[in-house]
Amino acid sequence: MIEASSILKGNGLQVETQYSILLEELLELCRKNLPSVDEDLIRRAFRVSYWAHRNDRRASGELYIAHPLTVARIYVEQIGFDDVGVAASLLHDVVEDTEISLEFIAATFDEKLASIIDGLTKMSGAFENRDITKAENVRKLMLSMASDIRVIFVKFADRLHNMQTLGSLPAHKQFRIASETLTLFTPLAHRFGFHSLKNQLEDFCLAYIHPEEYDEITTGLRNTQNDRDAYIKSFIEPLRERLSSDGFKFDIYGRSKNLYSIYRKMKRQDKPLSEIFDIFAIRIVLEGEGSKGKEECWRVYSIITDLFKPIPERFRDFVSVPKSNGYQSLHTTVFGPDGRRVEVQIRTRDMHEIAEKGVAAHWKYKEEVKSDDQEMDRLLTWVRDLLEDPESENATEFVRDFRLNLYDEEIYIFTPKGDLFTLPSGASPVDFAYLIHTQVGSHCIGAKVNGKMVPLSYRLKSGDQVEIITSKKQTPNPDWIKFVVTQKARSRIRHWINQKRREAQSLGRDSWNKRSSRAGLTVSDQELARVATRLRFPNLEQLFFEIGSGLYDVNDLVKAVKASHQEELAAKQEEDTLRLQYETFLDSAQSTGKPALLIDGELHSDIKTDYATCCNPIPGDSVFGFLSRTGTIKIHRVSCRNAPNLILNRADRIISVEWSRQKEVQFVAALRVMGEDRVGILSDLTQVVSKNLKTNIRSITISTEDGVFEGNLVLYVQDLDHLRRVIDRIKRIEGIHGVYRFEEQGDDA
């Protein structure tokens, strides 16, 4: 059990003098570079780190504490953000490498520091065995994992010291770490605007990745040093005098370019080193602040171009339009003495701080920075907000809650082997499984996230390491559709469901065919579709699917079909009976000499005739007349539902009638149409009736329920043939399972 108090008091562990001195130097740098310093915090962080690493040594052989001490020093000097970051630098390796736990950090210091250490610990694991060819993804991962901006800052300082001490590692490790630094860290450092740190990292990378070119460049620089210094001096001196006499306060110096940028120039422009060395670079840093400083930049630019001839196309104005990472400067290239080219940078002290330290410079120096890069803008807005009032509670909240979620829309997931995959945020293990392979997705039965079992509907987080557990017996679950977010997973699951559906349908059809032939039934698909509709199935496919998947008993279908046959038989028998009775009646009427009334579709002048609205007879229908109490003869269809009653009970009023000839008269007929409720069925229906058959529609009403479509059409037709044509044509519309003539409700009985 570790006693925090005894560690902090230093009981039983004497700090070696050289490290005590380094600590004091660190504190001195903090006082110089940071807005405020909690010295006690830094001393305690040092004590805990010293104690935790007491038995560890670096590859170089020195005591391990030298590393966190140097990281803290780099942090203060090159980033200079705040004292909490310094404490975090001192403690950055303790949780990963020693017995100290996060809980210990939280209890001994606070939650904030513990969360930074947690981020640092996680992040160091994030690069292990990573495929850095997907560098941009790994960089995004780093940013999305950082719960606090200082996690990234300390990581930069840590990496710089690792690069500085890379010489003590075996060669293969040197190469790997240098490559990792070049692909992952330098672009990020650039994005944050840590130029000086980025340049140092790049130069170390060059030394380990391209040692020959590194030697060539450093040797070349050394050999030409005196000559170059002399030339720079000859350029600077007259300029210095002129600027001083004009009253400027400034710093002017020859700027040594970073080795890596020289290397890049060599490669890109394919130029010999001597030619690149022939370009000199100087920088003028003005003391003026704000808009006055800006104005001074332009005045100095004007003076330089008075003294030396500029190359116009090399002029760049990053003062009016800063770079996305906040960088500001005026760049120009002029012809110096002997016609040699000199690159000149002009900037204010504030701009210089930002150019060197990036966003961290805002901590100390207020500067209005414009940017159209959204990500950086957010970051800078945050820093700016902090600067409004660094003392306020609000500012502290900001630091604590700030998350570097620059990539909200994507998450980064690892396989157990360390391969990186990008998924949309909200993705589940099922999405991940399908992303790996369709077979993995289809057979997944479970998932482990960071070693723990989770439900398949679990929402993955950036950095999660996901292991998919599969089983040959497992098949996709239709419920997965509810939580998957990727197109691939969704379409594969749907595909599977449809396939299963088709299989079940064909199974259902087979089962029906067998069962119906055993029952001695011969049923057409059309008839079966009518029965299905009556059983409230939207279509035959659904019926077969439900039979095939055991949701509906095929025996019930047999029963329903038999019942339907019986009903039809009964209806036919009833009609036959009726017809027989009517024919008998007609015979008897004729035999008694009663004349048959001829009707021609028009109202008789002498006899009032009318068409019964209970059955709407039309020419060609079998009809009879019924003498009503008012003396009007109503014409009914023989099949009218009121016919049996009238014929059998009021035979005395029945008059036999026949259609005489056909006239261009329109009769009303009503049809009931049933089928499946699919898109466009109504328009197909009206299209067929009104366009194809040129038939007028008096009214149309439709209702849909459970996927079943039911429509009542009232049409104007000329005669029965016309109506039959309409019915035949409607039956052929896709999805229509039944068309029946029916009588509108009337009261003509």
State the catalytic residues.
96-97
| Closest CB 282 distance from Mn ion, rounded Å | 37
| 69/493 with CB nearer Mn ion | 69
Binding of Mn ion by 431 (CB under 5 A): no
Which residue stretch of 57-65, 91-99, 377-385, 656-664 sits at the interface with Mn ion (rule: CB under 5 A)? 91-99
| Closest CB 168 distance from Mn ion, rounded Å | 14
| Closest CB 157 distance from Mn ion, rounded Å | 9
| 6/164 with CB nearer Mn ion | 164
Which residue stretch of 56-64, 87-95, 163-171, 429-437 sits at the interface with Mn ion (rule: CB under 5 A)? 87-95
| 163/647 with CB nearer Mn ion | 163
Distance from C-alpha of 449 to C-alpha of 144, rounded to nearest angstrom: 18
| 158/202 with CB nearer Mn ion | 158
Please name the amino acid found at residue 278: D
Which region holds residue 595: left if phi is over 0, alpha if psi is between -120 and 50, else beta?
A: beta
Rounded to the nearest 10 degrees, how much is the dihedral formed by the CA atoms of 620, 624, 630, 631? 90
Contact between 324 and 354 (Cβ < 8 Å): no
* Nearest Cα to Cα of residue 337 among 487, 234, 407, 482: 234
| 93/350 with CB nearer Mn ion | 93
Contact between 234 and 280 (Cβ < 8 Å): no
| Closest CB 92 distance from Mn ion, rounded Å | 6
Q: Please identify the residue of the shown chain whose CB is closest to the bound Mn ion.
A: 158
Distance from C-alpha of 201 to C-alpha of 175, rounded to nearest angstrom: 14
Which residue stretch of 88-96, 235-243, 340-348, 551-559 sits at the interface with Mn ion (rule: CB under 5 A)? 88-96
| 93/118 with CB nearer Mn ion | 93
* CA triple 582-588-592, angle to 5 deg: 145
Q: Which of residues 367-406 bind Mn ion (CB under 5 A)?
A: none
Binding of Mn ion by 719 (CB under 5 A): no
Binding of Mn ion by 93 (CB under 5 A): yes
HEC string of 375-423 equals HHHHHHHHHHHHHHCCCCHHHHHHHHHCCCCCCCCEEEEECCCCCEEEE
Binding of Mn ion by 180 (CB under 5 A): no
* Nearest Cα to Cα of residue 151 among 85, 74, 66: 85
Contact between 154 and 116 (Cβ < 8 Å): yes
Cα-to-chain-centroid distance, residue 482: 16
| Closest CB 178 distance from Mn ion, rounded Å | 16
DSSP H stretches of helix in 391-524: 393-401, 429-436, 438-442, 487-518
Q: Given 3-state DSSP classes, what are the helix, strand and coil percentages for the chain, each rounded to the nearest 5? A: 55, 15, 30
Which residue stretch of 86-94, 184-192, 441-449, 527-535 sits at the interface with Mn ion (rule: CB under 5 A)? 86-94
Binding of Mn ion by 158 (CB under 5 A): yes
| Closest CB 142 distance from Mn ion, rounded Å | 15
# chain residues binding Mn ion, by CB under 5 A:
2
| 93/431 with CB nearer Mn ion | 93
Other Cβ atoms closer than 10 A to 249: 12
DSSP 74-103: HIIIII---HHHHHHHHHTTHHHHSS--HH
| Closest CB 72 distance from Mn ion, rounded Å | 11
| Closest CB 200 distance from Mn ion, rounded Å | 16
Which residue stretch of 3-11, 21-29, 156-164, 638-646 sits at the interface with Mn ion (rule: CB under 5 A)? 156-164
| 81/248 with CB nearer Mn ion | 81
Contact between 714 and 667 (Cβ < 8 Å): no
Cα-to-chain-centroid distance, residue 577: 71
Which residue stretch of 151-159, 339-347, 438-446, 654-662 sits at the interface with Mn ion (rule: CB under 5 A)? 151-159
| Closest CB 373 distance from Mn ion, rounded Å | 30
| 118/158 with CB nearer Mn ion | 158
Q: Which residues pair with 309 in a beta bridge?
A: 335
**DSSP single-letter state for residue 279:** S
Binding site for Mn ion (CB under 5 A): 93, 158
